[in-house]
Structure 1
Amino acid sequence: MKCKPLLVAVCLLFGVFAQASEQPELKISVGDWPPYLSEDLQHNGVIAHLISDLLADEGYRVSFQFLPWPRAYSSAAAGRFDATAVWMHKNDREADFFFSAPLLDEQFVFFHLKSLPFGWRSFADLTGMKLGGGLKYSYGPDFDAFLAEGKVKIERVSSDQQNFDKLLKERVVLYPQEMHVGYASLRSHFSAAEQARITHHPKPLLINRSYLMLPKSLAGSPALLERFNKRLQLYRDSGRYQRYFDDLKQGKYQPEPPTSPASKE
């Protein structure tokens, strides 16, 4: 009789494994794009976590393969993956893929010091200011055109860390960057005290929408797309979608801290 609880536990464990193995697997190609997608982040980043949970609720297991972005695209287009994430819409991509409903709103904002209050309604309000920027980086056609007029000075460097360092030292007044990318960089490279000195203006400079793409070369893509979109809308309606990004703001997708080696006695 004493063996009965153990037998029950073993049966339950095998039941869990059997249930998992019965779930069809979806393979998704992705590129590295922290904090949204990265092998180094918990759950592979917030977008990978969102996609995994969403498709799990539809009865699928999801595996991600991180590839250079061009290979992630071409491999999925050839049908070697069930989907690829995440991509901006371009007309020429419609030849290869179906686009999901918008999965991510990339919101570019102006970061600035709290000690230097800043407000703006139009680009003209930025006249005379010195901005930080990324090398060969586009901030959308409208703002790129404004920069070309020469009414502001933009000093471009190669990393977020450099731009935020210049902001902290008041060498630039503003730094335009995608909001979550900017805060992820601040958490990674700066102290809590330095992070506390920086904020962003709530008015977006630019909003880019990104999508899951499903290959037209696979017969099952239209049906999967319909299920994905319906579940995504349920997540949005229930507030669950927003909770992933609230967690992101709180730094919950940061890499696990390395385990300290045991001290010698």
Structure 2
Amino acid sequence: MQTSALGAQVDRQGRTTSQVTARCIRFLCFYGALSLAGLNCAIGHAAPQVLTIATSELPPYISKDPQNSFLTELLQEIAKEMGVSIELRFMPWPRCELAVESLQAWATMPYVPTQEREEKFLFSQPLYAKRTVLFYYSKVESDIPKNFTDLGELSRYRLGGVRGYYYESIFSAAGLPLALASSEELNFRKIHAGRVDLVPAVETVGWDIIRRTFSEEDQAYFGTLDSTLDVGYNYLMTSRNYPQTELLLERFNQALNTLQLNGVYRTIAAKYGVLAGD
């Protein structure tokens, strides 16, 4: 840089300071505009919010196998309606509830409301209807009564169950102990081995396990009592302490309602043999 006779500084190419400054300003403005455009583009194409849902194996309602998982397909449609991304994390059922309570997951499903749960959690609209019955296995004529009006009538039979399931409190209130297992499949293996006499399960789930787990010959020896243990619904469950969970749950319910109204829900439910909850 040199000084001209007029006192203005010029660079080696003969440009004055004012010319260089103007060029720099235009350069900065140009790249500033590019940066702003890039920012707007990034905002316009921001990744959707990811909602983590903890769950476990319960085909045909939910499974790692998408071909045998009603809720996986339903959630894909709900996510589209909500404009979010839903991530499923599979873990043992007791850990599902803990994951939601510790805010490691937004929600878990499918769950049944109990008085204790409703103190800590919020529940969605029903995901589906279900009928819970008692299964038995016997190669000879069973002396187990097909009908009962009170659970106490089953007191002389050995009862199995799954740890953490809602019906624990029902049997406890009736004074009936449960031999608890960690999964539905283990429960049915126990009844098949003669270690328990009766196990409760949602009817659709129970027969699905029997078809997948046992030979055709063995399948013929399974049966259910005529009396039902429970007829009701299953839900999505979220912690009351999760950030903006009431708003998220409202959007979830709205999306579910939309799918019920436009027929998509019933189409998916029929595909998996699930009782519609609408």
Q: Is the 8 A contact 2:131 2:202 kept in 1?
A: yes
Using the alignment, how far apart are the partners of 1:106 and 1:224 within structure 2?
A: 25
Decide whether aligned partners of structure 1 residues 235 and 203 sit closer, same or farther in structure 2, where only a CA change above 3 A counts: farther
Decide whether aligned partners of structure 1 residues 200 and 62 sit closer, same or farther in structure 2, where only a CA change above 3 A counts: same
Q: Is the 8 A contact 2:54 2:105 kept in 1?
A: no
The residue matched to 1:205 in structure 2 has which SS? Answer: strand
Larger Rg: 2
How do 1:142-181 and structure 2 match up within 5 A? Answer: 143-146=171-174, 148=176, 159-164=187-192, 166=194, 172=197, 175-181=199-205
Q: Is the 8 A contact 1:161 1:186 kept in 2?
A: no
* 1:13 paired residue number: none
Q: Is the 8 A contact 1:30 1:86 kept in 2?
A: no
Q: Is the 8 A contact 1:133 1:156 kept in 2?
A: yes
* 1:62 paired residue number: 86
* 2:35 paired residue number: none
Decide whether aligned partners of structure 1 residues 58 and 180 sit closer, same or farther in structure 2, where only a CA change above 3 A counts: same
Decide whether aligned partners of structure 1 residues 71 and 189 sit closer, same or farther in structure 2, where only a CA change above 3 A counts: closer
| TM-score calculated relative to the size of structure 1 | 0.59
Post-superposition offset of 1:83: 3.1
Q: Are 2:127 and 1:103 equivalent residues in the alignment?
A: yes
* 1:133 paired residue number: 160
Using the alignment, how far apart are the partners of 1:215 and 1:176 within structure 2?
A: 27
Q: Is the 8 A contact 2:54 2:100 kept in 1?
A: no
Decide whether aligned partners of structure 1 residues 194 and 98 sit closer, same or farther in structure 2, where only a CA change above 3 A counts: same
Post-superposition offset of 1:163: 0.8
| TM-score calculated relative to the size of structure 2 | 0.57
Using the alignment, how far apart are the partners of 2:222 and 2:260 within structure 1?
A: 30
Q: Are 2:149 and 1:122 equivalent residues in the alignment?
A: yes
Decide whether aligned partners of structure 1 residues 242 and 205 sit closer, same or farther in structure 2, where only a CA change above 3 A counts: farther
Percent of paired sites with the same residue: 23
Using the alignment, how far apart are the partners of 2:46 and 2:222 within structure 1?
A: 49
The residue matched to 2:79 in structure 1 has which SS? Answer: helix
Using the alignment, how far apart are the partners of 1:236 and 1:201 within structure 2?
A: 32
Q: Is the 8 A contact 1:56 1:62 kept in 2?
A: no
Aligned length: 222
Post-superposition offset of 1:189: 1.4
Using the alignment, how far apart are the partners of 1:72 and 1:113 within structure 2?
A: 30
Using the alignment, how far apart are the partners of 1:217 and 1:188 within structure 2?
A: 39
Decide whether aligned partners of structure 1 residues 57 and 88 sit closer, same or farther in structure 2, where only a CA change above 3 A counts: same
Q: Is the 8 A contact 1:30 1:37 kept in 2?
A: no
The residue matched to 1:159 in structure 2 has which SS? Answer: helix
* 2:235 paired residue number: 211
* 2:16 paired residue number: none
Post-superposition offset of 1:109: 0.5
Q: Are 2:116 and 1:88 equivalent residues in the alignment?
A: no
Decide whether aligned partners of structure 1 residues 194 and 216 sit closer, same or farther in structure 2, where only a CA change above 3 A counts: same
Equivalent position amino acid for 2:48 in 1: P
Using the alignment, how far apart are the partners of 1:63 and 1:135 within structure 2?
A: 25
Equivalent position amino acid for 1:122 in 2: T
* 2:76 paired residue number: 52
Using the alignment, how far apart are the partners of 1:94 and 1:70 within structure 2?
A: 16
Using the alignment, how far apart are the partners of 2:83 and 2:256 within structure 1?
A: 14
Residues 14-36 of structure 1: per-residue CA shift (max 9 Å, x gap): xxxxxxx7672432231323224
Using the alignment, how far apart are the partners of 2:173 and 2:239 within structure 1?
A: 35
Equivalent position amino acid for 1:162 in 2: K
Decide whether aligned partners of structure 1 residues 242 and 107 sit closer, same or farther in structure 2, where only a CA change above 3 A counts: farther
Q: Are 2:247 and 1:223 equivalent residues in the alignment?
A: yes
Q: Is the 8 A contact 1:99 1:211 kept in 2?
A: yes
